[in-house]
Structure 1
Amino acid sequence: MKLVLSVEPVRFPLTGIGRYTYELALRLQKSEEISDLQFFAGRSFLPSLPTASDASGSGYGLKRAVQKNFLAVEAYRLLMPILRARALKNHSDFLYHSPNYYLPPFDGKSVATFHDLSPFTWAHCHAPNLVRYLQKELRTTLDRADALITDSEYTRRELSEYFSWPIERIHTVPLASSEEFFPRDYEALKTPLARHGLVPGEYSLFVGTIEPRKNIETLLDAYARLPLSLRTRWPLILTGYYGWRNDEIHKRLEAAQREGWARYLGFVPSEDLPLLFSGARLFAFPSLYEGFGLPVLEAMSSGVPVVCSNSSSLPEVAGNAALMCDAMDVEKLTELLQRGLEDAAWRAQAITQGLVHCSAFSWQRCADETLQVYRTVMEG
């Protein structure tokens, strides 16, 4: 089998899609079934799998500025497929896989991974220019794809129903947490966490882009209802990409920081993230909508109890190992947060159950099941 894998998501900031692409590429490189693996990004082939830096580089600010300009976004949308098609024109005997929604014009078989439908179902949570671009491009992908991959069964069914796309051509392939996420001894965490002003076991954690879909204001509402002694003993620490449509969220965070019970760290280096997870007393993730919810799995792999919402795909990811409630139920969320922080018996059980549950997910399983999708497409 010959494969062209788009590795464009492997860049700063390395979000969930970038991590998925990188981990999948690492394992596909070792597959004896793939006789020729080509990495593709932009409009050219790369000599090797790239790695994402922890700095944005000089072009990142320019890219963000361009994304806010409608004419620039539209010009990019119209021009890039032509340039990509030209670069791919002699590869029709390859299978093309995009791990990040977009499929260029391609003469061979093609597969795309849809991680969620937020550009359609949660469009109000994204920048308008980006929504217009995504909606046009993703509809084009549906016209071009021979098969689709989703991270969860929830997204598989949502995708099929929303677009009336044949469900037998959509394949669920779960993600996994990376090997860097594992339980650590608190003694070993003292020095690295001190760089962020943190003490192991003395904080709750949220990880994710600071955007409305993550339901951070509800999390702040619920945390604010905890007894003051509890939330100052175990303050809420948030980290993730700065995000969009979040002015009110950041105002709330600044107010909570002045009161001494919450703090936003910004986007931390990737090597520090597993340390932040394993040093947390509790992981809180009341997201409104997730195609998978990888941070929940990363927390469980780190030996940290989880409180999350029961929305979208999160019950699939969390199993029976987390405390869950309706995403907008502030009173119930407060109750679960307090139990997650104080109930020693539940915490011990949740840690054990979480480690067992997340062991069923692996990047090798993800690669193996992705290869099965490739086989189905090539044979079909």
Structure 2
Amino acid sequence: MKKIIAIEAQRLFRPKKHGMEIVALEILKQLKNAAGNDFIYQVVVKEDVDECITSSSNFTVAQLPAKAYPIWEQILLPSFIKKLNAALLHCCSNTAPLFCKTPMVVTIHDVIYMQAGGFKGSAYQNFGNLYRRWIVPKAAKKAKAIIAVSEFAKKEIVAALNVQANKVHVVYNGLNAIYRPCTDIQKSVAFRTEYKLPEKYLLHFGNTATRKNTSGVLKAYIQYCFKEENALPLVISGCSKGTITAIAQRENLLLPENNILYTGYIEAAALPLLYSNAYLFLYPSFAEGFGLPLVESMACGTPVITAHNSSLPEVAGDAALFVDAANPNEIFLAITRLLTDANLYNQLKEKGLKNAQRFNWEKTANQTKEIYKMVLNNL
């Protein structure tokens, strides 16, 4: 009889998905395709509006009531798992229930929240970081195995959580096949028309979390606009104009308002067009556990400016232009260089397309299943 693997993906059905939810969804799609071959899967999510994956043979999705996530994770989830008779619980969201008797595998994407002082964000983000600081060290010790998304993340997990290195297994994130250069001119024109975007622009994903370095991008862009009379517009996706205005006010920045455009949140299906139509992608984070957007941009043929810290050199390889995230002048110079050096631009474009081929979700899911088997064999 096939064993049941329970998989926690609590925020999977939220309408605006970000890193962890995207990773969980892509892995689950692969596991669903092979359900019954090795295991039977029981996915557990929080009730929400975007039912992006459904039940099928040997693959069941259960929705638990939408409560505050500490209550959902520490009370509702273990109570549900207890009734399942599952052989294993895989928690995909950095944290895990502490009083669950089912053996666990925990995916820890990063431990940035464990750093002294940490990186500031919204009130919700700060509360989440406090919760993780308390839960994650205990969950890591309780877990039978930990999945890290990069070698860098593994080293950080071992150091910050005081766990044995042989307990932590690196499984890279993958890449959806939808991320490829757009050669359909009509699609590109329709996309730019819908979002009121120009033919050529710089792209950045805005974020209130300071580690994402939106303020550094804004400082570099202001410098670029000051030096260049016909500066390319900066398109900011993922957050509102009000959020960017608040960041600018906090940093005492005078924004070139007419040059900055906002798309708001863009659904995953439209992201390849956002990347493909951008001339450059600006991703100079202070810290990442993996850095999936830079791989997505490369796969769409758009060169990336990123930072030489954390997992970013590991994931980007030699296919990006690296800067010091703390130095907006370096970001500005990198923008200028790629706008004026056609040879370098084309080299990074080709290297990026090649680098992106290293990542695919089928490989990620298969490696994850091997970890399930290893844990079950060692019980």
Interval containing the TM-score (normalised by the shorter chain):
0.7 to 0.9
Q: Residue deviations 1:24-59, cap 9 Å, x none?
A: 00001122543311111249xxx99359xxxxxxxx
Provide the rounded CA distance (Å) in 2 between the counterparts of 1:111 and 1:295. Answer: 25
The one-letter code sitting in structure 2 at the alignment partner of 1:256 is L
User: Are 2:43 and 1:39 aligned?
Assistant: yes
The one-letter code sitting in structure 2 at the alignment partner of 1:113 is T
Provide the rounded CA distance (Å) in 1 between the counterparts of 2:33 and 2:184. Answer: 35
Q: Residue deviations 1:271-303, cap 9 Å, x none?
A: 322211110001111110101111100100000
Partner residue, 2:11? 9
SS of structure 2 residue aligned to 1:265: strand
1:296–1:318: 8 Å Cα contact kept in structure 2?
yes
Of the candidates 75, 79, 99, which is equivalent to residue 82 of structure 1? 75
Q: Is 355-364 or 216-225 further displaced after alignment?
A: 216-225
Partner residue, 1:117? 111
The within-5 A match list for 1:160-175 is 160-175=158-173
1:103–1:144: 8 Å Cα contact kept in structure 2?
no
1:253 Cα deviation from its structure 2 partner:
11
The one-letter code sitting in structure 1 at the alignment partner of 2:43 is F
Provide the rounded CA distance (Å) in 1 between the counterparts of 2:207 and 2:114. Answer: 18
Q: Residue deviations 1:189-213, cap 9 Å, x none?
A: 011111111133x101012533211
Unaligned 5+ runs, structure 1: 52-62, 67-72
SS of structure 1 residue aligned to 2:287: coil
2:181–2:272: 8 Å Cα contact kept in structure 1?
no
Relative to structure 1, the CA distance from residue 230 to residue 195 in structure 2 (aligned partners, 3 Å threshold; closer, same or farther) is farther
1:155 Cα deviation from its structure 2 partner:
0.7
1:301–1:354: 8 Å Cα contact kept in structure 2?
yes
Partner residue, 2:90? 97
1:161 Cα deviation from its structure 2 partner:
0.8
Partner residue, 2:323? 325
Partner residue, 1:355? 353
Provide the rounded CA distance (Å) in 2 between the counterparts of 1:151 and 1:301. Answer: 19
1:156 Cα deviation from its structure 2 partner:
0.4
1:173 Cα deviation from its structure 2 partner:
0.7
Partner residue, 1:107? 101
Provide the rounded CA distance (Å) in 2 between the counterparts of 1:15 and 1:114. Answer: 15
1:356 Cα deviation from its structure 2 partner:
0.7
The one-letter code sitting in structure 2 at the alignment partner of 1:9 is R
User: Are 2:138 and 1:135 aligned?
Assistant: no
Of the candidates 291, 294, 297, which is equivalent to residue 296 of structure 1? 294
The one-letter code sitting in structure 2 at the alignment partner of 1:40 is V
Provide the rounded CA distance (Å) in 2 between the counterparts of 1:291 and 1:158. Answer: 9
1:87 Cα deviation from its structure 2 partner:
1.2
Relative to structure 1, the CA distance from residue 358 to residue 253 in structure 2 (aligned partners, 3 Å threshold; closer, same or farther) is farther
Relative to structure 1, the CA distance from residue 254 to residue 84 in structure 2 (aligned partners, 3 Å threshold; closer, same or farther) is same
The one-letter code sitting in structure 2 at the alignment partner of 1:190 is V
1:330 Cα deviation from its structure 2 partner:
2.2
1:113 Cα deviation from its structure 2 partner:
0.6
Provide the rounded CA distance (Å) in 1 between the counterparts of 2:336 and 2:235. Answer: 16
2:73–2:96: 8 Å Cα contact kept in structure 1?
no
Cα RMSD (Å) of the superposition?
2.8
Partner residue, 2:59? none
Q: Is 104-113 or 189-198 further displaced after alignment?
A: 104-113
Provide the rounded CA distance (Å) in 1 between the counterparts of 2:311 and 2:96. Answer: 25
SS of structure 2 residue aligned to 1:4: strand
TM-score (norm 1): 0.85
Relative to structure 1, the CA distance from residue 3 to residue 244 in structure 2 (aligned partners, 3 Å threshold; closer, same or farther) is farther
Provide the rounded CA distance (Å) in 2 between the counterparts of 1:168 and 1:336. Answer: 39
1:226 Cα deviation from its structure 2 partner:
2.0
SS of structure 2 residue aligned to 1:29: helix
2:282–2:306: 8 Å Cα contact kept in structure 1?
yes
Q: Residue deviations 1:92-128, cap 9 Å, x none?
A: 4421111112222332221111111122126341434
Provide the rounded CA distance (Å) in 2 between the counterparts of 1:159 and 1:347. Answer: 35
SS of structure 2 residue aligned to 1:36: strand
Partner residue, 2:263? 265
Q: Is 247-256 or 154-163 further displaced after alignment?
A: 247-256
SS of structure 2 residue aligned to 1:49: coil
1:211–1:244: 8 Å Cα contact kept in structure 2?
no
Unaligned 5+ runs, structure 2: 56-65
Provide the rounded CA distance (Å) in 2 between the counterparts of 1:185 and 1:253. Answer: 41
Provide the rounded CA distance (Å) in 2 between the counterparts of 1:114 and 1:278. Answer: 30
1:138 Cα deviation from its structure 2 partner:
1.6
1:168 Cα deviation from its structure 2 partner:
0.5
User: Are 2:203 and 1:199 aligned?
Assistant: no
Q: Residue deviations 1:150-178, cap 9 Å, x none?
A: 11110100010112101101011111222
2:11–2:46: 8 Å Cα contact kept in structure 1?
no
1:183–1:278: 8 Å Cα contact kept in structure 2?
yes
Q: Is 80-89 or 337-346 further displaced after alignment?
A: 80-89
